[in-house]
Structure 1
Amino acid sequence: MARGLLKTGGPERSKLDTSGSWHLSRTRTNVLEAAGSREDLMTARRGNILITALVLLLTSVVWHRLSPVAFAQHPPAPVPPSLKTISVPLPSNLDEFVKNRAFAVVLGKALFWDMDVGSDRQACASCHFHAGADDRVKNQFNPGFPITADMSFGDAFGRTGSGAQAGPNYTAVAGDFPLHRLSNPEDRQSFVLYDSDDRFSSQGTFAGAFVSNPSLFVFGIDACGSADPATDPFRVNGFLVGDVFVRKVEPRNTPTMINAAFNFRNFWDGRANNIFNGVNPFGLRDQQARVWLENADGSVTPVQVALENASLASQAVGPPLSDFEMSCSGRTFSNLGRKMLPRRALASQAVHPQDSVLGPYRPLLLPTGLNYTYSQLVQNAFQDRYWSASQLVDGTFTQMEANFSMFWGLSIMLYEATLVSDETPFDKFRGDFVTPPNPAALTAQQQLGLDLFMTKGNCIACHKGPEFSSAATHLQAENQEEGLVERMVMRDGGIALYDNGFYNLGVRPSANDPGVGGRDPFGNPLSFTEQYLDMLRGRDVPDRFQIDACKFASPFTVDFPLSSLTSPDCHGVPFNPADIDGLRTAVRGTFKVPSLRNAALTGPYFHNGGQATLGQVVAFYNRGGDRTDVPGGDTSGVPSNVHPDINVLALTRAEQLALVAFLESLTDPRVQCEQAPFDHPELLVPNGHPFNQYTVVADPTTLNTKAVDSFMTIPPVGRDGLPGILQPCLGTFADRLGLSQSSGVTGS
């Protein structure tokens, strides 16, 4: 059976003071707190669920009293509270590894923004530089490879939506979106004008096989071989030299890392496990994952570690070794540690004097980098027993190099845990345990949009809670109404089990991308649902969790004879192997529900990046998605997994515009203007290659195998943020295309 209950973070404990008024003991975990306050922080994170539920009920009543918009069409659902009312969930055993959280945040921020990390000057931030996401328009299309075998760009005729020749290094225009276009945008059954299974995402690395680290005294470009033309579709004709490689593009759209600290699992398919094993994204699924612990005699011992509520750390260790994102193939974290540890942090990038985290550590006489090497930052941030041993690991790497994956994951987790956008107009409108609600914080149109969000649009079914996502940690615990697995009636009337917080919206046929229906490198299902079936069969499963069948919207007592269940009440589950094998699951083609916070800044949208504006997204939902009805299944020929709430909404144009306006109220101005904690160092972002999809310029220093890069410079920003000299606050992806966020709404 399963290995035990997977503990999850809950809301903080509220208290009733002597005056009878509600207040919160602390509204958010401060990851920069000294270790001495650890017990207080942990106490604050342990929620009193009954009291919190009462508080949420009271604040929902406040909404009804303050809002000029009345709920009319459906019974009122809980209006999401302010994000200030919950804390960032962090591992309870974090201090076993981290001795100074402030230095760990410095290390994490420096590593996240350092271009020398990637094999060819690709930082984590290279895909997360714009409100935590990516608004580039050149060389951002992927044909679906390697999730599918498709290596052809564009539609069946090799064209983009605007009619141009599709291909790598193409510059997108407004006419290319959406990627599925109908003759009648209000009718998903209408004639299809254009359809492509391409994905709009983020360019990464050139790839090629890793050979060696660069010299300490040069930029951090690794020595790598050339990619294989047979397995790399990202090639363009080089002037006079034939095909040359351009930067690869990821096969899924880039989500923002802002507020990602609240996710129970990360990545679109949830493969970044809630438990961090110190090595890779897969938690306890990888039973061989070990870090190295120093013994009293200076020798080292491999040990298994498990940090719960650390999916950010699990996510962080994925991209640095990905030959699509940041690395030549075959590079290890020990290689990366050997490359980075002796280097001065951010040595080639300017750091603003008023950087909210890095500013105090800038050198006085140098315009770039910090006073510390990465080795020194690790020594200041992490417990000595994980880096100070004299014995080499496998006779090759130092203990610090061998444990670099753990330092990387935990430090970036702690940095990203500071990136909480809880000062939006909506948060001010709702108020929190310290600040009263402000009815004037939302316009009348935005309040109408909120009403529609809660009622006619039913967006709240998936985008619930203060995070606006049902994939959030505080909604995943089994003491909540919905746990990790749910069972309910699907859109076609059948009953299915599925992973809570992961849904199929009818964006693309399920065969295009399995999402959480896929498997990890060890052959295990990513889905908790599929693991739950194995638990019913009496098998062990790789993840720790328990399921209470009484929490299902449709318990097995609804559709099974009581004699076929283990008990006649709601706890009963099927025991007959044939019944278990016949249980329907809805996991194929399902993806994590993203937060809607800062959505106006994080386009394009959905896992395939197929919609350019919020208006196009609202129109998609208004017509009931893009799935075309096929008897017995969806367009991939498998049973429909479309979420039951994906139906025709019949919103008027004014109502759609109100929804767009409400979504814009979820923008934190600190994010838009890059004010602390969203300030950052300088960054040179790869931005395609000179010329276009027809030709590029070959780089002679690579023996004409790779294209010359184009870069765009992101200047450093301090705690006060933008605007600066020639630096306005952030625009949107729609702006890049010359569109407004309301472009795409339908109706009259």
Structure 2
Amino acid sequence: NLQAPLPDLTGIVRNKNIAIKLGKALFWDQQVGSDGQACASCHFKAGADGRVTNILTPGLLRVDANGNPDPDTEFGGTVPPSPAATEGFTAGNQVARANITLTPDDFPFHQLVDKDDRNSAIVYSTNDSATSPGTFDGSFGTVIPRDLNEYCGDPEGNIFHTQSNLATRKVEPRNTPTVINAVFNFRNFWDGRANNIFNGTDPFGRRNEQARVMILNGRTPELARIDLNNASLASQAVGPALSDFEMSCAGRQFADLGRRLVSLQPLAQQDIASNDSHLSDLVHPSGKGLRASYAQLIRMAFEPQYWAARGNFVIDNSGSEPVLVSNSQGYTQTEINFSLFWGIAIMLYEAELISDDTAFDRFRGCHEPSCSPAIEPDESALSEQEKQGLMVFIDKGKCVNCHKGPEFTSAAIHLQAENQEEGLVERMIMGDNQVALYDNGFYNIGVRPTKEDLGVGAVDPWGNPLSFTRQYFDILLGNNAPDPFDVDPCTFEVPVLSDLPCDSAQQTNALRDRVIAGLERDAVDGAFKTPGLRNIALTAPYFHNGGAATLEQVVEFYNRGGNRRGSESNNNSGFGDNASNLDPDIRPLGLTAQEQADLVAFLKALTDERVRCDQAPFDHPSLTVSNGHLDQDSNNDNRADDILITLPAVGASGLPFSQCWANSGDLFNQGGPL
């Protein structure tokens, strides 16, 4: 009975139920993206992906010693530390390139002679990632209203191509996280760049000072700011739609997407079950698509001041303040505001995707006010092995230190309120036994060397740090920070001063003095958002790089104390001036083989059967996705032909039991309709 934290949409949304329907249509519609790409194309299995072909991408997020981009465009073993013979190959000895089908032998991406000893000889190691294929890499050309096609230039295929050099779909640089329960994250994306505040246009909240939407003030069209709290899902939703790795030709704008979609029949090419939990009353008699156009759904869902203006306009961003200009060749208000409609509608739909009914939930019961009537604990809901695994999770495994609360993540909203135990910034002893400040819910656990991906230690397009910790340092030094937030040093695990009772002003002043003197450090480079663990057995591969194919490999990683080399005192997980950013709990755990098996069994008990079987609210329209390419171009479009697979439409009752996804925690044992 978790309640989704959402912004106050009074004055923007006029009919929430219609907005949810609009959001589901936008999320699943293959007409939305370039090259037939929908949001759901990478989120169709338990809110994540499950493909194994054309999912390999090289280390494109690598930086140099100064933190500047230094992408690695070559696939295969990273030499050193990987042996020289592995260069250009996967761990399973395939030629590493785009469009290959990975096998169990290719995982994990960091392999040792002794999997329990992180300092044993390295057999294989790569900065490649296993993620999701998106679009081809052509540049955006134009759209024609009512035309199903989008016109993009020929792809270059410099990195992603077949053996005969035909362009393939590009593959994203990070593993695809699930959208289920993502509404509880204070920030979204692995690096947290999907801001808690939605500005109506892009993922960056108040960081984008030019962000405006168009409103009708009486009868006068003008520009206005949108500033919606607890709307990270909306910030996240507007990112992939224009990403040339995920859903778009390079250079497409939201107004172009709006121009293409507003007059189209939603989901026109896809089947919808007659008992779809959200769309059943709108299904077209043919069973394909909806009876209303996108324009009609927008008008029913949103207040007229956001779509009723007459005429065409452009937004001039050349000056210090954006200016709305009437232009007969410009865009309608609906098209200009399409990012607003898109973000809010998809946020409201994804807020429906709450998974809270697992064997663990029944074992635990619920006497919270949200549970009415109360749910009594059921001791029989967990097996004896799962109960032993729960004890490992809480105690010897130290899992609960980061995967806490009902969401099983410290990146969740309710755990980050400043008036509770922890805030957005925390100060604690790190893996090298030295104190540092860090972003709560974001940890460097030593999966890969920090320089390969800075995570929350990176910056936004305007050069501002994504990290709240680094913004807090700027504030202490008298500078401005783009994000609005407060920090109470009295909530720190390790306060600056040991005086009791704690005085926030005194603590802040003491911390400021230490920052000015260069005595305080941060631990944010190479840190990533802690994922929730609900349905984890359905969402392989694991980690931000997708470098583990099974839950067993994940547990082995933690049991040996991560992938970094050296002793505890020789911590090499940091970057730049920081010798260590490592989470203090990443050290050898000493779990027995039985304890590891018990822990995996408990993690599988976090699966919601509704998610496993695509039952309401997790049901969906049919979806056709790319599953690699043939090395041929039969239609002469300079793109390798897609190999397509279609998932059937599923109604509220879900898949037949025999077709449900396997609760395996194994990328290569998925079951289901794939």
Residue 581 of structure 1 and its aligned partner are, at CA, apart by: 3.5
- Indicate the residue corresponding to 2:317 in structure 1: none
**Does 2:570 correspond to 1:629?**
no
Residue 573 of structure 1 and its aligned partner are, at CA, apart by: 3.0
Residue 130 of structure 1 is aligned with which of 35, 45, 51? 45
1:301-380 matched pairs, under 5 angstroms = 301-364=222-285, 366-380=286-300
Matched position secondary structure for 1:339: helix
- Indicate the residue corresponding to 1:722 in structure 2: 655
Amino acid at match of 2:163: N
Amino acid at match of 2:429: V
Query: 1: CA distance between counterparts of 2:310 and 2:402?
Result: 51
Amino acid at match of 1:526: L
> Is the Cα–Cα contact under 8 Å of residues 174 and 738 in structure 1 kept in the other structure?
no
> Is the Cα–Cα contact under 8 Å of residues 537 and 577 in structure 1 kept in the other structure?
no
Amino acid at match of 2:32: V
Residue 178 of structure 2 is aligned with which of 256, 259, 263? 256
Residue 701 of structure 1 and its aligned partner are, at CA, apart by: 3.3
- Indicate the residue corresponding to 1:417 in structure 2: 351
- Indicate the residue corresponding to 1:697 in structure 2: 632
- Indicate the residue corresponding to 1:598 in structure 2: 535
Deviation digits for residues 357-416 of structure 1 (CA, Å, limit 9, x no counterpart): 01111122x120000100000001001110011132222111011000000000000000
Query: 2: CA distance between counterparts of 1:474 and 1:211?
Result: 44
- Indicate the residue corresponding to 1:216 in structure 2: 146
Residue 117 of structure 1 is aligned with which of 10, 16, 32? 32
> Is the Cα–Cα contact under 8 Å of residues 490 and 641 in structure 1 kept in the other structure?
yes
> Is the Cα–Cα contact under 8 Å of residues 574 and 581 in structure 2 kept in the other structure?
no
**Does 2:468 correspond to 1:538?**
no
- Indicate the residue corresponding to 1:53 in structure 2: none
- Indicate the residue corresponding to 2:66 in structure 1: none
Deviation digits for residues 282-307 of structure 1 (CA, Å, limit 9, x no counterpart): 0000111000011222x311101100
Query: 1: CA distance between counterparts of 2:574 and 2:595?
Result: 33
Residue 634 of structure 1 and its aligned partner are, at CA, apart by: 1.2
- Indicate the residue corresponding to 1:152 in structure 2: 74
Query: 1: CA distance between counterparts of 2:349 and 2:619?
Result: 12
Residue 423 of structure 2 is aligned with which of 480, 483, 507? 483
> Is the Cα–Cα contact under 8 Å of residues 566 and 573 in structure 1 kept in the other structure?
no
Amino acid at match of 1:513: D
- Indicate the residue corresponding to 2:83 in structure 1: none
Amino acid at match of 2:133: Q
> Is the Cα–Cα contact under 8 Å of residues 566 and 575 in structure 1 kept in the other structure?
no
Matched position secondary structure for 1:428: helix
Deviation digits for residues 648-676 of structure 1 (CA, Å, limit 9, x no counterpart): 11011111111001000100000000000
**Does 2:480 correspond to 1:523?**
no
Residue 566 of structure 1 and its aligned partner are, at CA, apart by: 10
Matched position secondary structure for 1:227: coil
Query: 2: CA distance between counterparts of 1:373 and 1:567?
Result: 55
Residue 142 of structure 1 is aligned with which of 57, 60, 68? 57
> Is the Cα–Cα contact under 8 Å of residues 566 and 572 in structure 1 kept in the other structure?
no
Query: 2: CA distance between counterparts of 1:636 and 1:342?
Result: 51
> Is the Cα–Cα contact under 8 Å of residues 131 and 598 in structure 1 kept in the other structure?
yes
Query: 1: CA distance between counterparts of 2:456 and 2:20?
Result: 31
Query: 2: CA distance between counterparts of 1:289 and 1:632?
Result: 46
Matched position secondary structure for 1:452: helix
- Indicate the residue corresponding to 1:61 in structure 2: none
Higher deviation after alignment, 446-455 or 261-270: 446-455
> Is the Cα–Cα contact under 8 Å of residues 525 and 574 in structure 2 kept in the other structure?
no
> Is the Cα–Cα contact under 8 Å of residues 564 and 571 in structure 2 kept in the other structure?
no
- Indicate the residue corresponding to 1:105 in structure 2: 20
Residue 163 of structure 2 is aligned with which of 189, 212, 237? 237
- Indicate the residue corresponding to 1:283 in structure 2: 205
- Indicate the residue corresponding to 1:178 in structure 2: 108
Amino acid at match of 2:476: L
Amino acid at match of 1:400: T
- Indicate the residue corresponding to 1:655 in structure 2: 595
Residue 572 of structure 1 and its aligned partner are, at CA, apart by: 4.2
Query: 1: CA distance between counterparts of 2:145 and 2:307?
Result: 23
1:493-642 matched pairs, under 5 angstroms = 493-557=433-497, 569-576=506-513, 579=516, 581-629=518-566, 633-634=571-572, 638=576, 639-642=579-582
Amino acid at match of 2:652: R
RMSD over aligned Cα atoms: 2.0
- Equivalent pairs counted in the alignment come to 632
Amino acid at match of 1:206: F
Query: 2: CA distance between counterparts of 1:567 and 1:672?
Result: 47
Query: 1: CA distance between counterparts of 2:294 and 2:415?
Result: 37
> Is the Cα–Cα contact under 8 Å of residues 206 and 247 in structure 1 kept in the other structure?
yes
Residue 647 of structure 1 and its aligned partner are, at CA, apart by: 1.2
Residue 635 of structure 1 and its aligned partner are, at CA, apart by: 6.1
Matched position secondary structure for 2:335: helix
> Is the Cα–Cα contact under 8 Å of residues 549 and 573 in structure 1 kept in the other structure?
no
Amino acid at match of 1:203: P
The verdict on how the C-alpha distance between 1:598 and 1:577 changes in structure 2, with shifts beyond 3 A counting, is closer
Query: 2: CA distance between counterparts of 1:252 and 1:576?
Result: 38
Amino acid at match of 1:269: D
Query: 2: CA distance between counterparts of 1:668 and 1:160?
Result: 34
TM-score (norm 2): 0.91
> Is the Cα–Cα contact under 8 Å of residues 541 and 667 in structure 2 kept in the other structure?
no
In the alignment, structure 2 segments of 5+ residues that lack a partner are 63-69, 80-86, 315-326, 368-373
**Does 2:674 correspond to 1:674?**
no
Amino acid at match of 2:445: L
Query: 2: CA distance between counterparts of 1:710 and 1:733?
Result: 26
Higher deviation after alignment, 439-448 or 270-279: 439-448
> Is the Cα–Cα contact under 8 Å of residues 550 and 666 in structure 2 kept in the other structure?
no
Deviation digits for residues 401-450 of structure 1 (CA, Å, limit 9, x no counterpart): 10000000000000000000111111111111321111111111111111
Amino acid at match of 1:120: D
Deviation digits for residues 270-321 of structure 1 (CA, Å, limit 9, x no counterpart): 0000000000000000111000011222x31110110000000000000000
Query: 2: CA distance between counterparts of 1:282 and 1:273?
Result: 5
Query: 1: CA distance between counterparts of 2:516 and 2:115?
Result: 42
The verdict on how the C-alpha distance between 1:343 and 1:580 changes in structure 2, with shifts beyond 3 A counting, is farther
Query: 2: CA distance between counterparts of 1:576 and 1:498?
Result: 18
1:183-198 matched pairs, under 5 angstroms = 183-198=113-128
Query: 2: CA distance between counterparts of 1:620 and 1:605?
Result: 11
TM-score (norm 1): 0.82
